[in-house]
Amino acid sequence: MSLAGASPAPASGAVHVSLRGVSRIYPGRAAQPALHALGPIDLDLAPGEFFAVVGPSGCGKSTLLDVMAGLATVSAGSITFEGRSVNGAVPDGVGVVFQEDASFPWLTVTDNVAFGLREIGTPEATVKEKVSYALNFMGLGDFTQAYPAQLSGGMRQRVCIARTLVLEPRLILLDEPFGALDQQTRLLMGDELLRLWRETGATVLLITHALDEATMLADRVGVMSARPGRFLELVKTGWPRERDSTIVADSRFGQLTSRIWTLLRAESLRAMGHSRIAR
Amino acid sequence: MKARDSLLLILIVVAAWQVFHWIVGDIALRSPLVTARHALALLADPGFWPHLRETLLAFAEAFAIAMGIGLFIGLTLGASRLAGDVAEPILVALYSIPKVTLYPVILLIFGIGMPAKVAFGAIHGIVPISIFALNAIRNINPVYLRTGQVLRMSPLSATRKILIPAALPEIVTGIRVGFSLTLIGTLLGEMFGAQRGLGHMLLQAMTRHNMDAIMALTLLLVVFAAVVNAALLSLDRHLHSRA
């Protein structure tokens, strides 16, 4: 038993997800002008790649995740996942972990994690097996019958991650999943995320506002501009696949983080309207 | 611990009643002991049971109608943001008018008797139940529904497995509030337009200044309301403690 997807990344070259000229514009209403939230964005994710996105607040990071997940439509451009077009419908094989606590308070931890499996009609014996594996993997083995209200924020987020994992998604999108957690918990959750990324072989896109988190976890970090969000630069970290949070002690970690910060600082100030300080 | 607290509270209320009785005098307020004795006598009187049965029947019908219509209005309006935005202030306005003003209208429609008191009870309960249900649906955390989208659930399945369970604690709170108001409405209906029922007995006792009967009936009603409310409250707490 493992969490690896049934079919590994398809052999359609080295591209798993592809975005071409993707933008999203919120149409204006009576008093409001139209809002150009995102793009145009071009991006290719390789199968099994860990990609992190950082950017100033309000730059459209979450919008990027929404259109990639099929939770929102694109205004221009196209997105393909495993060769098939994504526009406004969530494709099979995509899992999303949201920033907010999305665990269902009316279900126990076990029933929360089993929810998606039962929804697709998985036989109950298989559900049991997969859920118990995922619960142990996420360190929730002692809380199977607890309700989310009895758990800490970090553990509730782990429930949501486990609920996504058991469906064996080939693309996992995470929208600041650790944003509400304290620093130590975030580092430990980062370790767990790396572990499950290696084990599942899934392609991961992580949106975060923590630069150290992005540098520590990702193969590549996409630094976004202020709204409308575009990629200013894609920074390669060059970490080995076997890695954990101890790489924060690596000398290159500081260099990479400060590189990203330099790119981001000017943009963040611009986004906040402090153009004079930025100069 | 909890049972002990409840018992303590009852003792305090009875003690306060006794003290109040000593202050205002026996003519205005009977003592707890005398009232309890009269209430027991009432229960032992075979003539009392048809009245009780009549009231419980009217109340059960009114409450069932209030739940049915209230939940239908609330859930339907809650499903559409615009309809909810428009309807909510109207419902709240309806909630604040004293329903007694509508009583002549109800009497003219239904005549004196069972249908009038059922209708009067029901209109007290419909509005709070629908307001709570409406807000229960509107205030659902959007991330639950987004989770349903990511799991590629059909709208029907998402309604059944996400929307309703998420809204249930608030809906039960509304039903609890609706219960109390429907009971008040039913009794009021019996006071003004009926020949049977506890409300009718209460009004007769009032016109005859039969203090013993007034207090005994009130005690029985309080006990009934408190028992049902305690049951609903424990369900309510159970659902909310998980939220």
Query: In this predicted model, what pLDDT tens digit does every residue of A148-192 receive, in sequence order?
Result: 888 888 888 889 988 998 888 889 999 988 877 777 777 888 888
Distance in angstroms between the alpha carbons of the first and the last residue of chain A: 56
Please check whether residue A18 is in contact with residue A47, taking contact to mean a CB–CB distance below 8 angstroms.
no
> Which residues on B lie below 8 Å from A147 (Cβ)?
242
What percentage of residues in chain A have a pLDDT greater than 90? 9
Of the pLDDT bands very low, low, confident and very high (cuts 50, 70, 90), residue A13 is low
Annotate chain A with three-state secondary structure.
Answer: CCCCCCCCCCCCCCCCEEEEEEEEEECCCCCCCCEEEEEEEEEEECCCCEEEEECCCCCCHHHHHHHHHCCCCCCEEEEEECCEECCCCCCCCEEEECCCCCCCCCCCHHHHHHHHHHHCCCCHHHHHHHHHHHHHHCCCHHHCCCCHHHCCHHHHHHHHHHHHHCCCCCEEEEECCCCCCCHHHHHHHHHHHHHHHHHHCCEEEEECCCHHHHHHHCCEEEEECCCCECEEEEEECCCCCCCCHHHHHCHHHHHHHHHHHHHHHHHHHHHCCCHHHHC
Q: What CA–CA distance (Å, rounded) separates A178 from A189?
A: 8
Chain A hits for B151, Cβ within 8 Å: 115-116, 119, 167
Q: Which of A98, A119, A149 sits opposite B242 (nearest CB)?
A: A149
Task: Name the residue of chain A whose CA is nearest to B243's CA.
Answer: A105
Q: So what's the pLDDT on residue B66?
A: 94
Which superfamily, per CATH, for B50-242?
Answer: MetI-like (1.10.3720.10)
Structure tokens of A207?
């949106």
- What pLDDT shows up at residue A12? 45
* Minimum distance, in Å, between the CA of residue A241 and any CA atom of chain B: 28
Per-residue confidence at A9, pLDDT binned at 50, 70, 90? very low
| Strand A50-54 with A76-81, pairing | unpaired
C-alpha distance from B74 to closest chain A C-alpha (Å): 21
Interface test with A, best of B139, B140, B152, B172 (most A CBs within 10 A): B152
HSE toward the beta carbon, residue A112, CA cutoff 13 A: 31
Backbone angles phi, psi at A251, to 5 degrees: -65, -30
Q: Which of A219, A162, A146, A217 is nearest to A187 (CA)?
A: A217
Do B151 and A106 lie within an 8 Å CB cutoff? no
B67: pLDDT strictly greater than 90: yes
pLDDT value of residue A11: 44
A91-105, A230-244, B5-19: which range is least confident on average?
A230-244
Give B152's contacts in chain A (Cβ within 8 Å): 90, 92
Q: Say yes or no: A180 contacts chain B, CB-CB below 8 A.
A: no
Residue-averaged pLDDT of chain A: 82
Supply the pLDDT for residue A273: 67
Is B149–A71 a contact, with Cβ atoms under 8 angstroms apart? yes
Q: Lowest-pLDDT range, A244-248, B52-56, B205-209?
A: A244-248
- Say whether residue A93 is in contact with chain B using an 8 A CB cutoff: no
Predicted pLDDT of residue A58: 76
Is the pLDDT reported for residue B46 higher than 50? Answer: yes
Q: Does A13 touch chain B (CB under 8 A)?
A: no
Q: How much is the pLDDT for B178?
A: 92
Would you call B157 and A119 a contact, using CB atoms and an 8 Å cutoff? yes
**In this predicted complex, what is the ipTM?**
0.81
Average pLDDT score over residue span A107-133: 89
Query: Quick one: what percent of chain B has pLDDT higher than 90?
Result: 29
Query: pLDDT for B111-136, tens place per residue?
Result: 887 888 899 899 999 999 999 999 99
- Tell whether the model's pLDDT for residue A48 goes beyond 80: yes
